[in-house]
Structure 1
């Protein structure tokens, strides 16, 4: 669809510029992509690393409202594509009626999803290991990034991605998601019953430690009470880095094919 706007939403610990290869590909396919920063995020990785206090304490609802305002400023409803916590934000926005289609890649756990795999718990320790972190910005070490994102990559590629894209991030959303099933009005709740929303594609990596595939499988089941289109694609042997590592184009191409099918059915 020519000139269809696309809004890319990154997750925790990656900078908005990590979407640059995706934006170039989508632009070449006739889309009009943007990859806005999260609240408080500076224009570059280096600047954001130098000012972690600017992103500290931001909540799920604050990030959702931030992107909703950006979408409201567009000339037409966009495709929304999010990764990790950006995937959760994408689901929230679609449930609220934003966008004409959405893709949630390795999305963070929404309210109602019950599995808690050990790998996910371990990958969350940099945030959840200290309750006082809730109002802070936290950075990953190279070792933590290797386990949580780059477990299927060589040490060399893992270090390259770590050096190029990682930033300190607010970890309040992780605390909110962890407590979602015990919180009546959790900010991690998504309107999965919305019948009028656009199509949703969920994507998982079978080797993901941060958002294990079982989480995405359980997320799909949360949409069973809606007749709106909800589909799932699983990439075998891929970890949480699948949007930024050497195989990112495979994921992006599958999404472009899916979008072509969605738009052909409109």
Structure 2
């Protein structure tokens, strides 16, 4: 399901490159976007991949200091990335994975981006399906209410179920060792309670018709954000006349941004941006 990337974003020769802000989700480090950053820079964009608030600059440092990110919530992270976007020369394309996808949706709904791509995005307020696989994937954090204000790490076995279920055990373990870090549990609790909270931080302005285009991407084998959740997310945008599209990848799990097939996903995003004149 790959697509050919554009040679460069649609812009006049004198225009500055379009910024792209990559936002990772829980349990992955910002440097997991490094291959994407390289490809997008080669395609003519100006990409950055900042960490979450308090996130140390390397995987090793993040593992050594898990409490650096403890108790960071959805609005904390959204505000952090909003301040980065506000310092850019022009509205960026925002690309997020998992909870980074939810944050990308929030920022686009607030009018802060030219477009957004939400890859296996965490469920926003209004999304009702809660598959058993998703409950199991979130259990390492949600299984203990005391985790709400803590940072939580995954075991290799938990990572394999939530991220690497479409991979061989060896490949899943390799990605686990390379990219995983402790992450705040608070966003998971906020998303789980979103439909019972009037002012949930997982709420997105899905009715905004003046925002830029949005592409939702799902891996059909994803346990952490099953495809039915992403399809339900798409339905939340039914009152908006802005462009909202869904692309599905067969045989792919939650690791689709970091496993051996990441380039297929990146190329599909580049082709979509080219089609939208971005």
TM range (shorter): over 0.9
Q: Which residue of 2 aligns with 1:123?
A: 137
Residue in structure 2 matched with residue 232 of structure 1 by the alignment: 246
TM-score, normalised to structure 1, is: 0.98
1:155 is displaced (CA, Å) by 1.2
- How many aligned positions are there? 264
- Taking the aligned partners of 2:176 and 2:50, their CA distance within structure 1 comes to 20
Q: Does 1:168 align with 2:182?
A: yes
Higher relative contact order (CA 8 A, sep 6+): 2
2:74 to 44, 60, 70: 60
5 Å-filtered alignment, 1:33-112, equals 33-112=47-126
2:277 alignment partner, SS class: helix
- For 1:24, the equivalent position in structure 2 comes to 38
1:11 aligns with 2:43: no
Task: Give 1:181's match in structure 2, choosing from 165, 176, 195.
Answer: 195
**Are 2:153 and 1:136 equivalent residues in the alignment?**
no
1:115: Cα distance to partner? 0.2
Q: What secondary structure is seen at the aligned counterpart in 2 of 1:263?
A: coil
| CA positional deviation for 1:188 | 0.2
- CA distance in 1 between counterparts of 2:91 and 2:148 reads 33
TM alignment of 1:178-257, pairs within 5 A: 178-257=192-271
For residues 87-120 of structure 1, the C-alpha deviation after alignment (integer angstroms, 9 at most, x for no partner) is 0000000000111010000000000000000000
Structure 1 SS opposite 2:27 = coil
Equivalent residue, structure 2, for 1:152: 166
Q: Quick one: distance in 2 between partners of 1:141 and 1:96?
A: 36
Of 231, 249, 259, the residue aligned with 2:273 is: 259
CA distance in structure 2 between the aligned counterparts of 1:78 and 1:253, rounded to whole angstroms: 18
